[in-house]
Amino acid sequence: MAASGESLESFLCGEDAMDWDTSDDAWSSPIPATLPENSFLQVGFPDEPEADFVALLIDRETLYLPQSGYLERFRDRTLDASSRHVAINWILKVHTYYRFGPSTACLSVSYFDRFLSAHQIRHGNGWPFQLLSVACISLAAKMEETSVPSVLDLQVCEPKFIFDAKTVRRMELLVMAILKWRMVSVSPLSFVHYFLGKLDLTSKLEPILFNGVFQQVTEIILSTNRVIDFLGFRPSSIAAASVLCAAEGSLDFSPKIDALPSLFGNGVSQNEIWSCYNLMPELLVHVLNRASMVKSLKFRDPEEARIPQSPNGVLDIAACGSCDSQKSLVEIAGPPLKRPRLGDHCTEGAIDTNISNS
């Protein structure tokens, strides 16, 4: 028998938001008063002097990472890496389907990993992971996008389970509570413009080729979200390594590449940059092969070289497959919403709503 919305809610989030811990420590905003408004929501174009702003981002970036030991829990199989891979792939497919900005994708994955590192979800690749994925991309889209699809319309790209709006909203409340309302974030995208500027690419490349490098950097960063090995690196290191990989495919940096990480400032670990950089050819081979094409393309035909001028034009590397032909879920299902049978996945306690463990 298909589970009703009422039965699903009864064990997911039986309490209201007002029943949760409302102490100052649990609900206070972590954004310091010295930061410009919405600064973390930008993709690298702050109003503050860039060097000072980036130094502040580097100082704050560890506040928005998963809890310590998160990567090790995947490696010792306490957490299921394949379940995370399925969930992140679905998030990125939805990001591609709706052509959301890259910051929406990074923020969605950040919510997912921060929640999973602080709160237990059982049943691996079942409905709890799917519900968390829907809640994370819904929250990120509300933070970043000017036009946000409905909760039902977000559930595209052949999800295994479909959840009604009320259930997703309750899950969103749980996610926000576990994250202590730290909904802004420092991501690798926060550093891209500054790091590209440190390489002085604007003077070395024509604008259209520079935009190609910017696109490749963004594509590399989005691709790192899929691979658990990159969970061990700070956002600034991932950004610096991505810039080096993309720039190396566009310019001949080989004579001086060893000295390049020092350009990114003292706050960024050069050893960590190199460790991250050395992983990328092995784990992101398909993306880097395309990055190397930027160097080989001479753009003989201007139409061939037309590259999106905005990060919003950058699409994730995963083809959305059946998403391209998938219509709105409202059009497909119509009222009432028909859900897949949840069966044994719907057991009490699959998502523990006691936030005291956060």
Q: What is the pLDDT of residue 26?
A: 38
Pick 118 or 346 by higher pLDDT: 118
8-state DSSP, 315:
P
- Count H helices and E strands in the chain, helices first: 16, 0
* Packing angle, helices 5-12 and 165-178, rounded to 10: 10
- Residue 336: phi, psi to the nearest 5? -80, 160
Residue ranges making up the domain that contains 9 = 5-22+61-186+326-357
Task: Examine the domain organization and report whether 13 and 155 are in the same domain.
Answer: yes
**196-219 burial code (b ≥16 CB/10 A, e <16):** bebbebeeebeeebbbbbbbbbbb
Task: Examine the domain organization and report whether 15 and 162 are in the same domain.
Answer: yes
Q: What is the pLDDT of residue 294?
A: 43
Give, in order, the Cα–Cα distances in Å from 284 to each of 104, 249, 287, 317. Answer: 21, 14, 6, 11
Query: Does position 233 have pLDDT exceeding 70, yes or no?
Result: yes
Task: Examine the domain organization and report whether 92 and 166 are in the same domain.
Answer: yes
Domain assignment present for 94? yes
8-state DSSP, 122:
-
Domain assignment present for 18? yes
Question: What does pTM read for this prediction?
Answer: 0.69
Q: What is the pLDDT of residue 114?
A: 96
Task: Examine the domain organization and report whether 78 and 196 are in the same domain.
Answer: no
Distance CA(94)–CA(157), nearest Å, equals 7
Domain assignment present for 318? no
Domain assignment present for 122? yes
- Classify burial at 146, counting beta carbons within 10 Å of its beta carbon; exposed 0-12, middle 13-18, buried 19 or more: exposed
Domain assignment present for 156? yes
In 3D space, the residue among 59, 58, 110 whose CA is nearest the CA of residue 222 turns out to be 110
Contacts of 19 (CB under 8 A, 6+ apart): none
Q: Identify the three-state secondary structure at position 40.
A: helix
Distance CA(207)–CA(197), nearest Å, equals 13
Task: Examine the domain organization and report whether 12 and 110 are in the same domain.
Answer: yes
What is the CATH number for 173?
1.10.472.10
Domain assignment present for 56? no
Task: Examine the domain organization and report whether 216 and 298 are in the same domain.
Answer: yes
Q: Identify the three-state secondary structure at position 279.
A: helix
Task: Examine the domain organization and report whether 179 and 196 are in the same domain.
Answer: no
Task: Examine the domain organization and report whether 220 and 165 are in the same domain.
Answer: no
Under a CB-based contact definition with an 8 Å cutoff, are residues 236 and 218 in contact? Answer: no
Q: How many domains does the chain have?
A: 2
Region of poorest pLDDT, from 19-33, 137-151, 170-184? 19-33
Domain assignment present for 300? yes
Q: Which two tokens stand for residue 278?
A: 């050395």
Task: Examine the domain organization and report whether 299 and 192 are in the same domain.
Answer: yes
Task: Examine the domain organization and report whether 146 and 13 are in the same domain.
Answer: yes
Domain assignment present for 27? no
Query: Does position 158 have pLDDT exceeding 80, yes or no?
Result: yes
Task: Examine the domain organization and report whether 75 and 172 are in the same domain.
Answer: yes
Most confident stretch, 200-209, 301-310, 338-347: 200-209
How many Cα atoms are found within 13 Å in the side-chain-facing hemisphere of 150?
11
Under a CB-based contact definition with an 8 Å cutoff, are residues 169 and 154 in contact? Answer: no
Q: Which two tokens stand for residue 238?
A: 């991932």
Query: Does position 255 have pLDDT exceeding 80, yes or no?
Result: no
Task: Examine the domain organization and report whether 161 and 241 are in the same domain.
Answer: no
